[in-house]
Amino acid sequence: MENQQAQEIANLVRKKKYEKAYLVGKTVLKSDPNNKEVLESLYSLTAKLRSESMDFASKKANYSAISSFEILLQKVNELTGQDMYGNFN
């Protein structure tokens, strides 16, 4: 992954700064919608968000925590063309 923005997204995901990772990806894809490296990083973000949402749900965490992950997941899915389960539309 040579793309600097893709690396930044990956680093933000590792640090659990998911909203910032989304915003970096959104900014890049506005000017370069076919940036494969950034899309790959965003796919890892959606996978992490799905995992976090399921983890919260399995622990019966409060709904607002689950909801915030799901809302962000929906936003990232709009950028990547994925559905809530990681399938491509």
pTM above 0.95, yes or no: no
The pLDDT assigned to 87 comes to: 79
Contacts with 38 (C-beta within 8 Å, 6 or more apart), sequence order: 3, 5, 6, 9, 25, 28, 29, 32
Average pLDDT over residues 38-65: 83
Looking at residue 57, what is its pLDDT?
72
Amino acid identity of residue 24, one-letter, is V
